[in-house]
Amino acid sequence: MGAETEDTGTKDRPLSVVVVDDHRLTAMGIADSLRARDITVLAVAHSVAGAVQSVNEHSPDVAVVDLDLGPGPSGLDLAAAFRASHPRMGLVVLTAYEDPRLFIPELQELPRRIVYLVKQRIDSVEDLINAVTEAKECAQGATTAQSSSPFVLTTAQAGLLRLVAQGLSNHAIATTLSLTEDSVAKSVNRLAKRLGVVHSEGTNLRVGLTQRYYDMVGYQREG
């Protein structure tokens, strides 16, 4: 079974939600946090199939979907499908990736009218509640505003950052991208400036960029 369903009335609860996350413990934590703020959790799904079934069955106000759902379609793929099939349903995409193209390299744009919520930026449950509320208002036309773009970098810079983090030299990157080494070196310097990575005596620019990459994908470093 892909979903766990609750038979809960919604008359006295203005918001109803379906939670989608392939990690059961994480999904449980999100659902419990929403319930604690009197938001009705209609179902918790752990797969794309379970999510589609739950949304079609319950028609929630908002779906909270994790970006990384394991092998197969991503949370953004699911959000795009829901935007087409349920245009007035709010969508929150919850993720550890500051820039979704670090997870989906070919991504060009986000589905329309979604709220993209980065886990590392959540300071309290209130941030999640605000995202759910904003998603409903945005989908139903109460506001035309969308959350700020998660595209921290240009598409080329996101690709370059991935290659640097993989440990490729400027020569290897130049070969991969069919560029000159001088062009790659200049692009790496511009990338570092964009991300606030400072190159000074005693520091290694590529190490700094690699550390920044892992910060942006939600990797928790010790210390």
Range of the domain at 183: 155-216
Question: pLDDT of 50-105, one tens digit each?
Answer: 999 999 999 999 999 999 999 999 999 999 999 999 999 999 999 999 888 888 88
What per-residue confidence (pLDDT) applies to 149? 65
**Same-domain status, 118 and 168:** no
Whether residue 146 is contained in a domain is answered as no
Total domains in the chain come to 2
Per the listing, tokens 């946090």 go with 33
Using CA atoms, how far apart are residues 116 and 97, in angstroms rounded to an integer? 10
What per-residue confidence (pLDDT) applies to 220? 55
Whether residue 147 is contained in a domain is answered as no
Q: What is the DSSP string of 66-127?
A: ES--SSSS-HHHHHHHHHHH-TTSEEEEEES-SSGGGT-TT---PPTT-EEEEGGG--SHHH
* pLDDT over 50 at 189, yes or no: yes
Q: What is the pTM of this model?
A: 0.79
**Mean pLDDT across 160-174:** 95
For CA atoms 159, 164, 167, 171, the dihedral sign is positive
**Same-domain status, 131 and 201:** no
Whether residue 59 is contained in a domain is answered as yes
Whether residue 25 is contained in a domain is answered as yes
Question: pLDDT of 119-154, one tens digit each?
Answer: 888 999 999 999 999 999 988 776 554 555 677 888
139, 173, 193: which is the final residue of a domain?
139
Question: pLDDT of 100-118, one tens digit each?
Answer: 888 888 887 778 788 999 9
**Same-domain status, 128 and 44:** yes
What per-residue confidence (pLDDT) applies to 144? 52
* Residue type for position 79: A
75, 107, 139: which is the final residue of a domain?
139
What per-residue confidence (pLDDT) applies to 4? 55
**Same-domain status, 24 and 90:** yes
**Mean pLDDT across 37-51:** 96
Using CA atoms, how far apart are residues 72 and 219, in angstroms rounded to an integer? 22
Using CA atoms, how far apart are residues 85 and 75, in angstroms rounded to an integer? 15
**Same-domain status, 160 and 66:** no
Give the mean pLDDT of the chain. Answer: 87
Whichever domain contains 54, its CATH number is 3.40.50.2300
What per-residue confidence (pLDDT) applies to 142? 60
**Same-domain status, 167 and 131:** no
* pLDDT over 60 at 6, yes or no: no
Q: Which helix (H) or strand (E) holds 19?
A: strand 16-20
Whether residue 97 is contained in a domain is answered as yes
Using CA atoms, how far apart are residues 120 and 220, in angstroms rounded to an integer? 10
* pLDDT over 90 at 219, yes or no: no
**Same-domain status, 13 and 118:** yes
What per-residue confidence (pLDDT) applies to 11? 47
